[in-house]
A and B are shown apart, each in its own frame.
Chain A
Amino acid sequence: MNELVHPYHRFIRPSVTQTTFCPGCGDGTVAQCILRAIDGLGMDIDDFVFVSGIGCAAWIPSPFFNADVLHTTHGRPIAFAFGIKMGLPEKKVMVVSGDGDLVAIGGNHLIQNARRNVEMTVICLNNGIYGMTGGQAAPTTPMGIQTTTTPYGTFENTFNISRLVIAAGASFVACWTAAHPRQLTNSIKKAIQKKGFAFIEVFSQCPIQFGRKTGVGSAVKMLEDYKKRSISPKEAAKLSEEELKDKIVVGELVDMEKPEMLEEVKKMKKKARGGVE
């Protein structure tokens, strides 16, 4: 009898024998959505260069994906990805990292590359906390939550990541949760094909650090909570800022055409050569 093999096992690095994610973590779901999207587009994993930073989510491509992978310093994966894309414009470049990495320490690279509209896919897993270091507050942790660095509750306003990236000028922005794997997979497909900076925020449950700290509880409860709080942009348009506070606006929030940086660089080089290709 043939051994049963998962259809996406071929995308996993042969030396990987076990997952590093905690029980109930949403990052495994998102990892599979990425692989499903690549497979669904009929692409090969070698069509990609994956880049990640520091934190739990950064471990999705490194070591799991059997492709070229650069696991970078904390906060900087998008800046590294910029150089890779400029050096290998024919490859798809995908950044997979967490909210602390991409929005806290690396926030400026996110904003500036959304502004540049450099063609790359950025998947930001938002678990609302620093998981790997043991449950510290992030710029995405809701107000009043007890964490290991805010034992009396968080006292800072939070980032709305998708809104931030929309404002910075990305040509594709979507937001989903780990409770929306099919919708997420479809958006990843679109993001990969987008000629521009394509950003997807995914709320990904961290039952161990966030679930315990907030009292929301287990992975199942967190996913139910995500579903309960998720609303469409249409519904969101009818609500006040106050009413939107605890909501997650899910869907494809921006999908537009605008000048993409690599194309503009090509034009610039042509100009520098006096119009000769």
Chain B
Amino acid sequence: MNANRVLTGRYFMMGNVACAEGAIAAGCEFTAGYPITPATEVANRLAERLPQVGGAFFQMEDEISAIAAVIGASWAGRKAMTVTSGPGISLMLENIGFAIGVETPCVIVNVQRGAPTTGMPTVGVQGDMVQAKRGSHGDYEIIALCPSSPQEMFDHTVIAFNYAERYRTPVFVLSDAFVGHMREEVIIPGPEKIKTEYRKIPEPGTDPQKIRGFLDEDVAPMPIFGKGFKAHVTSSCHDEYGKRNLIDISALDNFIRKLSNKILKHKEEIILVERDYEGAEIVLVSYGGVARAAAMAAAQARKEGISVGTLRLITVWPFPEEEIAKMAKKAKQVIVLENNLGQLYPYIKAEAAHFSEVSFLPPRLVGEIQDPEDILSKIREVAK
């Protein structure tokens, strides 16, 4: 039996399973990981399904080697992904920085769980939001998407692969145990309806010495291995040709800025949000699973005659400052909702507070998504 890469159809599917199917539909061939709750179902599904379509999942000795193998496979020309949870990300961070430094397309799924350290593995907390941006050392930019449903676990994983390939960078899918374990309707479209991208590579036969394979703000062609490009790939400070330079500070500045600008220059194409705040005086800003509670509370408040809207961040990194400012200019009150103690709140406040009052509503208990009733109480309070 030759299975299909795209399982077109209508399903009642778990978010983590939908994520694996999204990866396969996007053309992923190589996956590596290490067992960890609450991300295991992604790995299990990949291990079952990928070999049927010619790929494979490899269980590595730890998360450090999982991300290393993914980066290696990506340089071998394969679309590659790893999946884990917070403790695994903590171990991967050095090599995530490596992937950024040598501009490696890959997807990293983080099904977030509760608390620092071992915490509570089965409870969803949006606890690693800033880690994704700032966890590895040095200045860098990253792309991160926040799905809020099993359908989006599929959709966002496809988008993550396309962004990774287009911008030659690691892309995070920042899910959590709630969204990962949620079961809902998932519609997988026909393969012709799923847009998939593949990285630019140099023209085969190009003189290797003339290949500018790095540090282009418009994304350099990737001199993948095995094609005679003689790629010199080092995460040490290097120039556009990949040549190491550990002497000139101007080379270091160029290295850091070009990598960051590559993402920042294309912010407009990368940033995805859902706006539903036209004319609203109070705007709820949230992302991921919490956005579902926010939408429910906003609908209820509107029934009560309170002018409430929502802004949902889908892309959280690069941070959508302009979207926040645009929203805050028209709002009187901004309420930030996250399932944590306020990780993106300072970033949102820094933009929104120029124009409106900004407050934060954590869940009653961290690890619980905000009860729409609690959000309503907060709305009534600020509406006074």
Contact = CB atoms under 8 A, between A and B. Distances in A.
Grouping DSSP codes into helix (H, G, I), strand (E, B) and loop, the B interface class, with mixed when no group exceeds half, is: mixed
B69 A86 contact: yes
Given A79-B64, A83-B80, A273 B228 contact: no
Interface stretch (B50-58, B178-186, B269-277): B50-58
Given A49-B225, A269-B54, A82 B230 contact: no
Contact of A91 (B60, B73, B226): B226
A82 B95 CA distance: 15
A108 B73 CA distance: 20
A166 B64 CA distance: 24
Contact of A84 (B2, B76, B236): B76
Given A76-B68, A84-B73, A272 B98 contact: no
Contacts of A14: 209
Interface string B44-86: 0000100110101010111011001111111111101000000
Contacts of B94: 73
Interface string B199-237: 000000000110000000000000001101111111110
A15 interface: yes
Interface residues of B, number: 49
Nearest to A90: B226
B45 to A, nearest CB: 13
Interface in A71-119: 71-73, 76, 79-88, 90-91, 108-109, 112
Contacts, number: 142
B243 interface: yes
Contact of B61 (A90, A112, A272): A112
Contact of A87 (B48, B76, B102, B244): B76
A67 interface: yes
A106 to B, nearest CB: 9
B232 A87 contact: no
Given A71-B235, A269-B56, A273-B2, A83 B73 contact: yes
Given A46-B230, A83-B80, 12 more contacts: A14-B209, A69-B233, A70-B72, A70-B102, A79-B69, A82-B68, A83-B70, A83-B71, A84-B73, A87-B76, A269-B54, A273-B2
